[in-house]
Amino acid sequence: MRAVLQRVSTASVTVAGATVGRIDRGLLVLLGVTVGDTEADLTYIVERTIGLRVFPDADGRMNVDVRATGGALLVVSQFTIAGDCRKGRRPSWDGAARPDDARVWYERALDAWRAHGVPVEAGVFQADMQVALVNDGPVTVLLDSRKQF
């Protein structure tokens, strides 16, 4: 499982002209489910996301996690994060989980973040989405449950 986290001052996702998710201060999470993901992969991504200290403390140092700020998550499924660009000029999507499997893991991730008490908004799985954000910092972090990067 892979995720791209962006610290945002605001973010939203729109489907067919309607806003389906919106947050103010928090993290935009672009989540990619990969072939063979397990409970351990899910736990890694969920716990890392909520535990990362990427928000400033009173001294301006990145020392505070999303829960401590009262922030939220906007989670968007994105199979392209599982792309492999090491060969040729066209990414290979072979590492991305099949849609039926990916949907299950995506929904389980949403439930897990909510169980940790973090407010969560979400995109629509497999929809054509438009994501808007104001990257705060900018701060962008990459996570890979198998630590491939």
Instruction: Name the nearest CA neighbour of 29 among 137, 97, 113.
Output: 113
- pLDDT, position 127: 96
The top-level CATH class assigned to 2-144 is alpha beta
Beta bridge partners of 56: 62
pLDDT tens digits for 16-59? 999 999 999 999 999 999 999 999 999 999 999 999 999 999 99
pLDDT tens digits for 66-83? 999 999 999 999 999 999
Burial of 46-65, coded b for 16+ CB within 10 Å and e otherwise, reads: beebbebebbbeeeeeeebb
Residue 147 banded pLDDT, cuts 50, 70, 90: confident
Q: What are the catalytic residues?
A: 78-80
Residue 86 banded pLDDT, cuts 50, 70, 90: very high
Residue type at 18 in one-letter notation: A
Tell me which residue has tokens 């949403």.
110
Quote the pTM value.
Answer: 0.95
Q: Report residue 45 as tokens.
A: 């991504």
